[in-house]
Amino acid sequence: MSSVHEEFLQRIEFSNEEIKSIMPYWEHTCRLLGLNDKDVRIAIDEWIGKYWDMSLKGVRQCIGAYVRELIELVRMKEYQQNGAKILYCNMPTHPACLLSNKIAGGDRLHIAHPDWLVTSVMSAFFNKPVTSEVEDSFAMNPSCRHCAMNQFRIMAQKKQIITNPDAYWNWGLCCNEGPKTEEMIRCLGNDDWHYVLTTLPHDVMNGAVEADDERRVEYLARQLQEAQKKISKYTEIDVSETEVIEAEKQYFRYLQKVDDLTDIVSFSDPQPIGGNDLTLFSAPTALAFDTGFHYLEEALDTLIEEARERVQKKEGPLPAGSPRLACHFVPYCVPWIAEEFKDAGINLSINTFFATAKDQMKYNDEKDIYKKIARQWFCNPCAVNLGNEAKLVVDRLERYPVDGVLYGFFSFDRWIGSLQKMLIKTVEERAGIPHFYLEGDFFDDSSCAFQDKKARIESIGYHVKIRKLINAGD
């Protein structure tokens, strides 16, 4: 047993017994993903400790939950050989849809968001983005930027890093690249690549509240239901409404706890935990783990308690009164960004993308479970038309006190990136707080050198602090 791996797993709260049983699988995972002993050593000594608040047990447990899920993903080949079915999905999704399959299938079915999981773990915890290898192997190079998740999907399939699924549920919805990637995988010679698309037409009036638009809600609900039927044909596991209801309950319980944490972070001064750490817990509200919410929830409960303790002691990464910036989605895969803002005296704070719980609660009385899921999904800013998105974001910025908003990191993305710059101006005017834009790639910092961003972050810091000085007189 290699001591560096043991040390790593201990550091992220694996028990000694679990380490013994899981070590062969973890070492196999490292081999497949090209993580050598040196990489793991650097992660322990330099990367994780520097960019993640490892003094918090909840954070350590959460990283453990991600790693546990990654090991599960790599083990899916073995599960498949033993007769289990594999269902993959891209991110973001409504977790209940995938999770209900797991609840129905138990050990006969395993679920994963491999693209998101691998790109997140490799970038956030090991600083080894997966995209550079793809760029060497395929036509998806920097001149033709693509989402790292789509890039990884192709690479993983071609290199057989992870097993091919029995079905891939593609939540294309607003994304036109995701579905094309499935086509490309087929064109590359994999006729057995079975995928089911869930998409939405772009035919809603700008500004319409989609969660209240009966026609739209009905359409998505039936799309999801139909997609589930197709998925069940591939997996041979029927999913009843009872299982979907149970999955939604589990999801919503976790979401509410993330909402509690978001409130603690937003309404306490000093801000008790940093934006990266908060996002680690927020991201799984848009996807489902094969291990369910169990490990995540355990970590979240721990972190909420730790955050409350910090609030009582008036502790936090930065002193009271430090400005805070909301983000669309804190770029936790490039964790030095948040750290650099911290050095400039600025907290990265809430994710407007994930602060959906209070909006989703409005639809708790919806009886049709698929319509409920559709309405909840339409509370996600990135899931709706630009006018609706602006309204959702403004509502969140009015709810949570922040000194500005940081956008960017998605210029490669045909879905989010193209709309962000348009959105900024609208939201800025309505919310009355400045919006800043930082070019970069959410999943891969190799396209944005530290030196290139340092001065820019400092300058955003000056601007925010100037405004804070001015507004202090109000």
Which of 132, 223, 291, 426 lies at the binding interface for another protein (CB under 8 A)?
Answer: 132
Query: Residue 440 CB, nearest distance to another protein (Å)?
Result: 11
Per-residue contact string for residues 443-462; x = within reach of another protein by CB under 8 A: ------xxxx--xx-xxx-x
DSSP string, 363-432: TTT--SHHHHHHHHHTTSGGGS-HHHHHHHHHHHHHHS--SEEEEESBTT-TTTHHHHHHHHHHHHHHH-
387-416 residues near another protein, rule: CB under 8 A: 407-408
CB atoms within 10 A of CB 400: 18
User: Which residue lies nearer to another protein by CB, 50 or 421?
Assistant: 421
Query: Residue 405 CB, nearest distance to another protein (Å)?
Result: 10
Query: Residue 285 CB, nearest distance to another protein (Å)?
Result: 27
240-269 residues near another protein, rule: CB under 8 A: none
Which of 53, 154, 420, 445 lies at the binding interface for another protein (CB under 8 A)?
Answer: 420
Q: Comparing C-alpha atoms, which of 300, 212, 293, 302 is closest to residue 246? A: 293
Query: Rule CB under 8 A: is residue 421 a binding residue for another protein?
Result: yes
CB atoms within 10 A of CB 177: 16
85 vs 361: CA distance, rounded Å: 34
Q: Which stretch binds another protein (CB under 8 A): 174-182, 260-268, 304-312, 417-425?
A: 417-425
16 vs 85: CA distance, rounded Å: 30
115 vs 154: CA distance, rounded Å: 9
- Cα angle vertex 55, ends 3, 1, to 5°? 10
Q: How big is the site for another protein, counted in residues (CB under 8 A)?
A: 39
Which of 146, 424, 440, 442 lies at the binding interface for another protein (CB under 8 A)?
Answer: 424
User: Which residue lies nearer to another protein by CB, 303 or 464?
Assistant: 464
CB 334 within 8 A of CB 186: no
Q: Which stretch binds another protein (CB under 8 A): 31-39, 51-59, 129-137, 249-257?
A: 129-137
- Exposed (0-12), middle (13-18) or buried (19+): which is 62, by Cβ within 10 Å? buried
Query: Rule CB under 8 A: is residue 138 a binding residue for another protein?
Result: no
Which of 88, 281, 436, 443 lies at the binding interface for another protein (CB under 8 A)?
Answer: 436
Query: Residue 142 CB, nearest distance to another protein (Å)?
Result: 7
Q: Following CA atoms 30, 33, 36, 41 in sequence, which dihedral angle do they give, to the nearest 10 degrees?
A: -70
404-408 and 435-438 beta bridge pairing: parallel
Q: Comparing C-alpha atoms, which of 32, 33, 119, 25 is closest to residue 72? A: 25
Read off the tokens for 444. 């891969």
Query: Residue 77 CB, nearest distance to another protein (Å)?
Result: 29
Query: Rule CB under 8 A: is residue 418 a binding residue for another protein?
Result: no
Binding site for another protein (CB under 8 A): 132, 135-136, 141-142, 407-408, 420-421, 424-425, 429, 432, 434-439, 449-452, 455-456, 458-460, 462-463, 465-467, 469-474
